[in-house]
Amino acid sequence: MKNLIRAIVLLSIIFAISNCIAKVSKKEKELNAIIAKLKPLHKKMAMPQPGDWLQYNKESGQSFVEYVRSDPVIVTKERKIIYIQPIGDFTEDEWKIVKKTAEFLSIFYGLSVITNKQIPLSAIPEKAKRINWGKEQLLTTYILYDLLKPKRTDSTILLLGITATDLWPGKGWNFVFGQASLRERVGVWSINRNGNPSGGEEAFKLCLLRTIKTASHEAGHMFSIYHCIAYDCGMCGSNSLSESDRHSLAFCPECHAKVIWATNTDIVKRFQKLIKFCKANKLKKETEFYEKELKAIQK
Ligand SMILES: [Zn+2]
Ligand SMILES: [Zn+2]
């Protein structure tokens, strides 16, 4: 009798595991089919130019399959809200950028985004501040691990700090646009170097484009996505503003599949909403590219 019960338990476990593998394989298969449809639209990564990120940083890259096998941070039944944490002061136009970026992130990752009450700069201790080339800077490691990490709640999938003050990540660095943890679900980015959003329509648009690029990139890291080295992609590393301006807002087919894997977002609805957002904000090149992607997956 005991042996019979053991055999039944064993069989149930094997059945459950094989069921689970079949499910995973189905989702992977579907996303691999989407990758194949999107591939022809995306440019392979060009040779790095002098001073580019890949000239200084050795990156291993990460395929969609490698990502799936890496046990990445993904949305769960409880953890499904992105929180944005404003840090320091913002002008009226900078607040508009923050608001629009929250809207973009919500569409890009298909999740609710809540913006927390602002934390004043006076709450950051002197040891996490410095003046570099005349600019005030905040230490990213302090923001990530001392300020943001304790503020995560049960519903937090990501907690993203945003500031108009410049950032630096520690000894030997001049500045960073943003920084995020691949495992701890915290990140921070700055709009300080993204241009002047009060400098007219074009300047506002440029600042918005740069900010949503950094925000989607840092959030990507927080879902355990590595830097992309295969395509011109929103997940490529950048050493300068001119380099990040060269990279596209859109994620490449492999990184796009990682986003869907982590969030379970409806692919068609996501593209439709991205098109609507880019159109409303007069981001012409980006609108046209997302339209092409939507068309490709509907074929
Ligand atoms: Zn990065
Ligand atoms: Zn990519």
pLDDT tens column, 123-137: 999 999 999 999 999
Mean residue pLDDT across the chain: 92
Give the model confidence (pLDDT) of 242-264 as tens digits.
888 989 999 999 999 999 999 99
* Rounded Cα distance, 66 and 85, in Å: 31
Domains defined for the chain, CATH in brackets: 2-298 (3.40.390.10)
274 vs 280: CA distance, rounded Å: 10
Question: Ligand 1 center to residue 155 CA distance, Å?
Answer: 25
**Could you tell me what percent of the chain has a pLDDT over 90?**
82
Name the least confident of 17-21, 157-161, 271-275.
17-21
3-state SS assignment for residue 60: coil
DSSP 111: S
pLDDT at 17: 45
pLDDT tens, 177-227?
A: 889 999 999 999 999 999 999 999 999 999 999 999 999 999 999 999 999
**With 60 as the cut, is the pLDDT of residue 1 above it?**
no
> How far, in Å, is the centroid of ligand 1 from the Cα of 14?
40
> Which ligand is located closest to the Cα atom of residue 248?
2
Q: How far is the CA of 257 from the centre of ligand 2 (A)?
A: 9
- Tell me: pLDDT of 45 over 90: no
Nearest to 214 by CA among 246, 252, 249: 249
Q: Which residues contact 16 (CB under 8 A, 6 or more apart)?
A: none
pLDDT exceeding 70 applies to what percent of the chain?
Answer: 92
pLDDT band at 291 (very low <50, low <70, confident <90, very high): very high
The residue among 62, 296, 121, 205 whose CA lies nearest residue 288 is: 296
What is the C-alpha separation between 70 and 280, in angstroms, rounded?
37
What is the whole-number distance in angstroms between the Cα of residue 233 and the centre of ligand 2?
Answer: 5
Task: Look up the pTM and report it.
Answer: 0.89
Distance CA 216, CA 15 (A): 39
What pLDDT, on a 0 to 100 scale, did the predictor assign at position 20? 46
Question: Does residue 25 register a pLDDT over 90?
Answer: no
Contact between 140 and 168 under an 8 Å Cβ cutoff? The reply is: yes
Sheet strands (E) in 133-284: 135-139, 156-163, 166-168, 178-180, 186-190
50-65: string of b/e by CB count within 10 Å (b at 16+)? eebbbeeeeeeebebe
The ligand that comes nearest to the alpha carbon of residue 255 is 2
Ligand nearest to the CA of 258: 2
- The pLDDT tens digits of the residues spanning 58-72 come to 888 999 999 999 999
Q: 229 CA to middle of ligand 2, Å?
A: 7
Query: What is the per-residue pLDDT across 111-124, written as a single tens digit (0 to 9) for each?
Result: 999 999 999 999 99
pLDDT at 3: 63
DSSP state of 46: P
User: What's residue 23's pLDDT?
Assistant: 57
Residue 60 Cα, ligand 1 centroid: separation in angstroms? 13
Q: What's the CA-to-centroid distance between 124 and ligand 2, angstroms?
A: 34
Confidence of residue 10 (pLDDT cuts 50, 70, 90): low
- Residue 169 pLDDT > 60: yes
User: What distance in Å separates the CA atoms of residue 45 and residue 60, rounded to the nearest whole number?
Assistant: 14
Number of other residues whose CB lies within 10 A of the CB of residue 72: 18
Cβ 85 vs Cβ 159: under 8 Å: yes
